[in-house]
Amino acid sequence: MEEFQEGTQKRWIHLRNILERPGPFSRPEYVPSPEILEFLLTSCKVLIIGAGGLGCELLKDLAMMGFRHLHIIDMDVIDLSNLNRQFLFRHKDIGLPKAEVAAKYVNARVQGCQVVPHYCPIQDRSEGFYQQFHVIVCGLDSVPARRWINGMVVSLLCYDEDGVLDQSSVIPLVDGGTEGFKGNARVIVPGVTACIECTLDLYPPQVTYPLCTIANTPRLPEHCIEYVKVAQWPKDNPFGVDLDGDDAQHLTWVHEKAVERATQFNIKGVTYRLVQGVVKNIIPAVASTNAVIAAVCATEVFKIASTSLVPLNNFMIFNDIDGIYTYIYEAERKVDCTVCSNIPQLVTVEDPSKMKLKDLVELLRESPKFQMKSPGLTTTVNGTNKTLYMSTIGAIEKMTKGNLTKSLLELGLKDGQELMVADTTTPNAIIVKLAFKQSDTEMK
């Protein structure tokens, strides 16, 4: 308690100015109190997901804002290409887990901070692990990972007998993302505001290039790079291994060959930075953008944890390509959201005698509504649980692969049948309900 009193008087004077007196941006119902600062310093637990460009900034910002009980989870190790923007790492750290190095660095530099690292995929942690946190903040570069953690926080919600949400089960999710000089930050209150899945169509589709174009009539610098990536690298096999987008030697080789091909077709604009983006299928990160978005996310975490200020409602866009531009709008919940609505998802089937199971699997992958990676389907037929198809477990895939070429009628599925669909994009299965446009009688 003595340490706390000393900290509140000197080190945290800037926080006391916000938390111990009302201000123009305070919530109308906010009651200033020194106990709020004590909660932030001694009790509040925050989980940071990702220890990359955004994650390093988030960890630094939150630690210096007074959050002492921080956890950070990341499954990657440090690579040379990370050092230009992930400032918690040094050359000697290459090959070590990002989460562990970042935690060690901040613990040593920020007095009183206790960062706990977790070197593993987010899917390896249970519901009990995520339930311990007051706020979760994401610095991810993966849409599937965002969808998974979004599904997790929604699955933790509890409702009473009347369907009223238990507020104590709500864990706010703050999400940040950057692409070059553009970025966004959003605040998700599970069960209250729009979730990741509600706005899934906001994420741009993965860019692909037709092989015939890149091989015969390249017109863009990206075409030249993609050709070297998919055709020339496997043919020449320069290093005897698969192409590694984080290996500087590999990228240099691709850059040189792409420049040669671009010169052949009189194409300009092949740069090393562009090579990085095309090979890794990402837009290379910019340190300044990461810093801005992380600062916004850290501020939102502070608003939520302290309840002193009105949080972002609920989506902010940042762009500094030509000047600086920001825009805030409220993303609306979808009444039939696949994750937060708890409503079975309707899939209309034109002709169940012709639609194969593989067509249904493809629909779940390609549909903008679902965008699944490797859906596994189970259902109940004549009172018996039946696995229709599952690719993630080798033995089950071998047993169910033959079902892919069978029609939905051959599999015994009927109009209104409910299927449980599991996928890597969500921790819990969703329910899909089949709606046949042609009934069995009509088809006979």
DSSP 74-125: E--B--GGGTTT-TT--GGGTTSBHHHHHHHHHHHHSTT-EEEEEES-GGGS
What amino acid positions are annotated as catalytic residues?
A: 212
Radius of gyration of the chain (CA): 25
Of the candidates 417, 419, 416, 412, the residue with the CA atom closest to the CA atom of residue 379: 419
Q: What pLDDT score does 332 carry?
A: 92
Write out the chain's pLDDT in tens, 444 residues: 455 555 456 788 888 888 998 888 888 889 999 999 999 999 999 999 999 999 999 999 999 999 999 999 999 999 887 888 899 999 999 999 999 999 999 999 999 999 999 999 999 999 999 999 999 999 998 888 999 999 999 999 998 888 888 899 999 999 999 988 999 999 999 999 999 999 988 776 666 677 777 888 899 999 999 999 999 999 998 998 888 887 889 999 999 999 999 999 999 999 998 898 888 777 777 889 999 999 999 999 999 999 999 999 999 999 998 889 999 999 999 988 989 887 888 899 988 889 999 999 999 988 888 889 889 999 987 778 889 999 888 888 889 999 999 999 999 899 999 999 999 888 988 999 999 986 544 444
Residues 6+ apart with CB under 8 A from 222: 209, 274, 278
Q: Cα(290)–Cα(56) distance, rounded to whole angstroms?
A: 9
User: For the purposes of burial, counting CB atoms within 10 Å of the CB of 407, is it exposed (0-12), middle (13-18) or buried (19 or more)?
Assistant: middle
Q: Cα(187)–Cα(194) distance, rounded to whole angstroms?
A: 9
Sign of CA dihedral 316, 65, 288, 87: negative
**Cβ atoms 184, 318 nearer than 8 A:** yes
Domains and CATH numbers, the chain: 1-180+285-312 (3.40.50.720), 211-280 (1.10.10.520), 345-400+408-432 (3.10.290.20)
Q: What pLDDT score does 205 carry?
A: 64
